[in-house]
Amino acid sequence: MKRIVILGAGTAGTIMANHLNHEIDKESWEIDVIDHRQEHYYQPGYLFLPFDIYEPEDIVKHIKDFIPKGVNLINDKAEKILAGEKKVLMQNGDLIHYDILIIATGCNIAPEEVEGMNGKEWRNSVFDFYTFEGSLALRDKLRKWEGGKLVVHITEMPIKCPVAPLEFSFLADSYFKNKKMRDKVDITYVTPLSGAFTKPKATETLSHLLVEKNINQVNDFGIKKVDNENKKIIDYEGREVSFDLLVTVPTNKGDALIERSGLGDDLNFVPTNKATLQSLEHPDIFVLGDATNIPASKAGSVTHFEAEILTENILRYVKGEPLKEEFDGHANCFLETGNGKALLIDFNYTHEPVEGTFPFPGIGPLRLLKESRMNHMGKLAFRWIYWHMLLKGTHIPFVSTTMQMEGKHF
């Protein structure tokens, strides 16, 4: 018996377990999935939790409910990958041999990377919404907050779901309007980028929305430290932004396991071939989801497209065939703009998000890069699709793995 080990049972690991369970010859292959957690978190829900749009139970389920029969779930933390020996050392001391390893350990926030960020104001007036605990603590804070300066901040790129901080700002605007206290809140969006988003056309649309919603923008802000005493963030050029409530997205890093195993770059992301998803260093290691260093968005939708191509490549690898260089960086994200509306953006490595129709060229029904209620329904439906289709590896109807060019206004 040969063995495929999947490290991590989040979005990527769960989809791969389901795909491989269908596709691989079970007479000769065993599939193991390793995760120390019991719960699977629907991370896109962290955006809605602070505003009382979702409840915690909407976004947390048991990992084991999504791992198919026929796949072994090992409930322990991986300590170290011994790539030379094809083994994974577990926290309990077990050594697990693999023939193929799939790294799907995701990424996490690392507030300790910035001086003062997790100082005495952490979860007091400095919050994150990229963790379940952070998002929940922020909900409790917002419920009783009486207003003042709200600063929404990105520390450095890359971060998962790079549009989430913008969405947070838009939803905050709606939230305070609904609470009839928007006049008591001053919202500022602070980013290390030169504009609202990373790609020019979407930046134009999004900057316009920021202005329309009366959200101030501070660009090119390379944070040096959080001053807890005076409640300010300060950048390397000495610029200061003061806050009463800071909602920051700290540096995102791959799991410390990657660092211990000597497999990552300086942010613990694993150097990966961006078209095949094979590790650049070890041919028997494959990587997908937020754990890679590829220049695509770190998003569940991207992970879903990656998984379809990776499954095919693993089948090819097993047969000794050349890998398909097919992944194009395809991302397809709904972006909440507040007041029950959303935008939809669709892009890849080479094509930035543009206007058009989706998924049917010329028809839609979804409009790209335009605010609509239909897109908002799409975003809310994504949670259902996530739990019932995406994790199970079901192909989502009409949505192609690589990006489609028709119906788009380049």
Partner 1 sequence: MEKIISGKTINVNEEGYLTGFSQWDKTIATEIAKEEGITELGPRHWQIIDYLQDQHKKEIPLSIRKIGKSGVVDIEEFYALFPQGPLKKATKIAGLPKPASCI
Ligand X SMILES: Cc1cc2nc3c(=O)[nH]c(=O)nc-3n(C[C@H](O)[C@H](O)[C@H](O)COP(=O)(O)OP(=O)(O)OC[C@H]3O[C@@H](n4cnc5c(N)ncnc54)[C@H](O)[C@@H]3O)c2cc1C
Residues that bind partner 1 (CB under 8 A): 156-158, 192-194, 198-200, 220, 222, 224, 235-237, 265-267, 293, 295
- Joined together, the tokens standing for residue 330 give 């395809």
198 binds, among partner 1, ligand X, none (CB under 5 to 8 A by kind): partner 1
Residue 300, C-beta contacts closer than 8 angstroms, at least 6 positions apart: 11, 43, 44, 386, 390
Residues 205-264 that bind ligand X (CB under 6 A): 255, 257
Closest CB to ligand X: residue number: 10
Is 300 a binding residue for ligand X by CB under 6 A? The answer is yes
Q: Give the separation between CA 330 and CA 324, rounded to whole angstroms.
A: 16
66 binds, among ligand X, partner 1, none (CB under 5 to 8 A by kind): none
Within its chain, how far is the Cα of 290 from the centroid? 6
**Burial class of residue 374, CB neighbours in 10 A (0-12, 13-18, 19+):** middle
Nearer to partner 1, 148 or 192 (CB): 192
Which bin fits 109, alpha (ψ -120 to 50), beta or left (φ > 0)? beta
Residues 6-35 that bind ligand X (CB under 6 A): 8-13, 34-35
CB of 201 to ligand X, least distance (A): 20
Residues 119-148 that bind ligand X (CB under 6 A): 129-130
Is the backbone peptide bond immediately before 158 cis, with ω within 30 degrees of 0?
yes
Is 152 a binding residue for ligand X by CB under 6 A? The answer is no
Nearer to ligand X, 89 or 241 (CB): 89
Strands (E), 216-258: 216-218, 223-227, 232-235, 240-242, 245-249, 252-254
Is 383 a binding residue for ligand X by CB under 6 A? The answer is no
Is 36 a binding residue for ligand X by CB under 6 A? The answer is yes
Q: Give the separation between CA 169 and CA 76, rounded to whole angstroms.
A: 37
CB of 129 to partner 1, least distance (A): 23
3-state secondary structure of 358: strand
Nearer to ligand X, 163 or 234 (CB): 163
Question: Judged by CB under 6 A, which of 152, 299, 309, 314 binds ligand X?
Answer: 299
Nearer to partner 1, 30 or 325 (CB): 325
67 binds, among partner 1, ligand X, none (CB under 5 to 8 A by kind): none
Is 161 a binding residue for ligand X by CB under 6 A? The answer is yes
Nearer to ligand X, 34 or 114 (CB): 34
By CB under 6 A, which span of 39-47, 310-318, 345-353, 401-409 interacts with ligand X? Answer: 39-47
Q: Give the separation between CA 152 and CA 255, rounded to whole angstroms.
A: 25
410, 351 Cβ separation under 8 angstroms = yes
CB of 211 to ligand X, least distance (A): 24
Nearer to partner 1, 29 or 347 (CB): 347
Nearer to ligand X, 236 or 384 (CB): 384
Element (H, E) at 153: strand 148-154
99, 121 Cβ separation under 8 angstroms = no
CB of 295 to partner 1, least distance (A): 4
What length is written for the chain?
410
293, 269 Cβ separation under 8 angstroms = yes
Residue 403, C-beta contacts closer than 8 angstroms, at least 6 positions apart: 328, 330, 346, 347, 348, 351
Is 78 a binding residue for ligand X by CB under 6 A? The answer is yes
18 binds, among partner 1, ligand X, none (CB under 5 to 8 A by kind): none
Q: Among 345, 316, 311, 310, which Cα is nearest to 331's?
A: 345
50 binds, among partner 1, ligand X, none (CB under 5 to 8 A by kind): none
Residues forming the site for ligand X (CB under 6 A)? 8-13, 34-37, 43-44, 46-47, 77-78, 104-106, 129-130, 160-161, 164, 255, 257, 289-291, 298-301, 303, 333
